[in-house]
Amino acid sequence: MSDGSSFYITTPIFYVNDVPHIGHAYTEVAADVLARWHRQAGDDTWFLTGTDEHGQKILRTATANGVTPKQWADKLVAEAWEPLLATIDISNDDFIRTTEPRHEKNVQLFLQRLYDAGYIYTGEYEGYYCVGCEEYKQLSDLVDGTGQYEGQLVCAIHSKPVELLKERNYFFRMSDFAERLLALYEERPDFVQPESVRNEIVSFVRRGLTDLSISRQTFDWGIKVPWDESHVVYVWFDALLNYATAAGYGSDDEKFARLWPATHIVGKDIARFHAVIWPAMLLAAGLEVPRQVYGHGWLLVGGEKMSKSKLTGIAPEQITDTFGSDAFRYYFLRAINFGQDGSFSWEDLSARYQAELANGFGNLASRVVAMVTRYFDGAVPAAVEGAVTDAERRIRETERRVTAAADSAIDRLAVHEAIARIWELVDELNGYITEQEPWALAKDPAQAARLATVLNTAVRGIGTLAVLLSPVVPEAAAKLWTALGGAGTVQQQPIRSAWEWEGGARVEPLEALFPRIEVEATA
Ligand code: ME8
**pLDDT digit string (tens) for 456-492?**
999 999 999 999 999 999 999 999 999 999 999 999 9
Q: 300: part of which helix (H) or strand (E)?
A: strand 299-301
Alpha helix (H) ranges present in 230-306? 235-240, 242-245, 253-259, 271-272, 278-284
72 φψ region: left (φ > 0), alpha (ψ -120 to 50), beta (else): alpha
130 known member of a binding site? yes
Q: How far is CA 344 from the centre of its chain?
A: 17
pLDDT tens for 417-442 read: 999 999 999 999 999 999 999 999 99
Say whether pTM exceeds 0.75: yes
Asked whether the predicted pLDDT for residue 334 surpasses 60, the reply is yes
231 is catalytic: no
Distance CA 419, CA 478 (A): 17
CA of 421 to the centre of ligand 1 (A): 28
| Distance separating alpha carbons of residues 106 and 45, to the nearest angstrom | 23
Of 423, 457, 462, residue with least CA distance to 441: 457
Among the atoms of ligand 1, which is closest to the Cα of residue 12?
A: 18
pLDDT tens sequence across 218-260: 999 999 999 999 999 999 999 999 999 999 999 999 999 999 9
Cβ neighbours around 411 below 10 Å, total: 15
Q: Is 443 a catalytic residue?
A: no
Q: What is the dihedral of CA 339, 344, 347, 353, to 10 degrees?
A: 50
Mean pLDDT of the chain: 95
pLDDT category at 154 given cuts 50, 70, 90 is very high
Residue of 10, 17, 24, 314 with the most ligand 1 atoms within 8 Å of its CB, for mutation: 24
Q: In this model, does residue 372 exceed pLDDT 80? A: yes
Strands 263-267 and 6-15: parallel
pLDDT of 520 strictly over 70? no
pLDDT in tens, 376-387: 999 999 999 999
pLDDT band at 188 (very low <50, low <70, confident <90, very high): very high
Q: Is 158 marked as a binding-site residue?
A: yes
Whole-number Å distance, alpha carbon 266 to ligand 1 midpoint, is 7
Helices of type H across 336-484: 346-352, 363-376, 390-411, 415-436, 438-441, 448-469, 474-483
pLDDT tens-digit profile of 98-126? 999 999 999 999 999 999 999 999 999 89
Assess contact for 231 and 108: CB atoms under 8 A.
Answer: no
Flag whether 133 is marked binding: yes
Q: Which residue's alpha carbon is nearest to atom 4 within ligand 1?
A: 14
Shortest-distance Cα residue to atom 10 of ligand 1: 23
> Does 3 score more than 50 pLDDT?
no
Distance of CA 109 to the CA centre of its chain: 29
Q: Which of 197, 241, 242, 269 to mutate to test the pocket of ligand 1 (most atoms within 8 A of CB)?
A: 269
Pocket of ligand 1, candidates 52, 58, 157: which has the most ligand atoms within 8 Å of its Cβ, to mutate? 52
Give dist(CA 191, CA 201) in Å, integer: 11
Which residue has its alpha carbon closest to ligand 1 atom 18?
Answer: 12
- Take atom 3 of ligand 1 and give the residue whose Cα is closest: 14
Q: Which residues pair with 224 in a beta bridge?
A: 232
294/51 Cα distance (integer angstroms): 19
CA-angle at 50, arms to 267 and 489, nearest 5° = 95
Is residue 264 annotated as part of the catalytic site, yes or no?
no
- Atom of ligand 1 minimally distant from the CA of 268: 27
103 labelled ligand-binding: no
Known active-site residue 160: no
**In residues, how long is the chain?**
523
pLDDT tens-digit profile of 14-42? Answer: 999 999 999 999 999 999 999 999 999 99
pLDDT in tens, 487-507: 999 999 999 999 999 989 999
Catalytic status, residue 24? yes
> 430 C-alpha to center of ligand 1: Å?
39
